[in-house]
Amino acid sequence: MEYKRILLKLSGEALMGNRQYGIDPERLQEYAQEIKQLIDKGVQVAIVIGGGNIFRGVAGASRGVDRVQGDHMGMLATVINGLALQSAMEDEGIPTRLQSAIKINEVAEPFIRRKAIRHLEKGRVVIFGGGTGNPYFTTDSAAVLRAIEIHADVILKGTRVDGIYSSDPEKDTNATKFDFISFDDVLRKGLKVMDTTAFTLSQENELPIIVFDMNTKGNLMKVVSGENIGTKVNL
């Protein structure tokens, strides 16, 4: 295995499958099966998941919801997604712990760094819910922060596209895909990989990011095995 400990970042929208909103049980099962392959190979897996399939704070703010209130609603949405993913993984026989950055002790452990690392060492998947626990910070920022805290080898950003392109491949047929790109080149070209706060934090801590298509079966294992899947962002 190329990577021994990974932080997998999933968007809330990824859980929708072909639905307009909410959670698709079939998509959850597919993800759980992909993750199980890694656990069976001894890879340590942590996950940060977004909440955009249920509520997005920025969108809520544009419709008159107070931004801080909206972000708190978004944090709760990530906990709901975390519970759903936890259930799907446990159905596959994967030991899983959900930790939340906001206190919600009846359904999730509080985030404790040393405890999270211990869970990983014991072969448990750790899902980090509740974002960073602070408004104005995205789940991308939460993913980078948690990855640094647990000493992950890499951040794997699972999306519906197969990497980073020179422009939006869904809109521009001439868009070209990068196999490798530096942090500096991403900033210079104005490419959207993560929000600026998350991206800069990753760059400062020399933590590589791989953007890949999570919805293609087998891709997750290929990425972790070191195959040239998606786009790798490095120094």
Q: pLDDT (tens digit, 9 = 90+) per residue, 79-120? A: 999 999 999 999 999 999 999 999 999 999 999 999 999 999
Q: For residue 197, give both structure tokens.
A: 């706060």
Those residues whose C-beta lies under 8 Å from the C-beta of residue 208, and which sit 6 or more positions away, are 154, 155, 202, 232, 233, 234
* Mean pLDDT (whole number) for 211-219: 94
The answer to the question of residue 234 being in a domain is: no
The answer to the question of residue 103 being in a domain is: yes
pLDDT over 90 (residue 158): yes
Question: H/E element holding 179?
Answer: none
pLDDT over 90 (residue 72): yes
Question: H/E element holding 125?
Answer: strand 125-129
Q: Dihedral (C-alpha) 77, 82, 87, 92: value to the nearest 10 degrees? A: 140
The answer to the question of residue 102 being in a domain is: yes
Q: For residue 185, give both structure tokens.
A: 């080149």
Measured between alpha carbons, how far is 222 from 33 in angstroms, rounded to an integer? 14
pLDDT over 80 (residue 39): yes
The answer to the question of residue 165 being in a domain is: yes
Q: Dihedral (C-alpha) 140, 141, 142, 144: value to the nearest 10 degrees? A: 90
SS3 content of the chain, % helix, strand, coil (to 5): 40, 20, 40
* Mean pLDDT (whole number) for 176-199: 93
Domain containing 17 equals 5-228
Q: What predicted TM-score, i.e. pTM, was given to this entire model?
A: 0.94
Number of structural domains in the chain:
1
Kindly report the CATH number assigned to the domain that includes residue 51.
3.40.1160.10
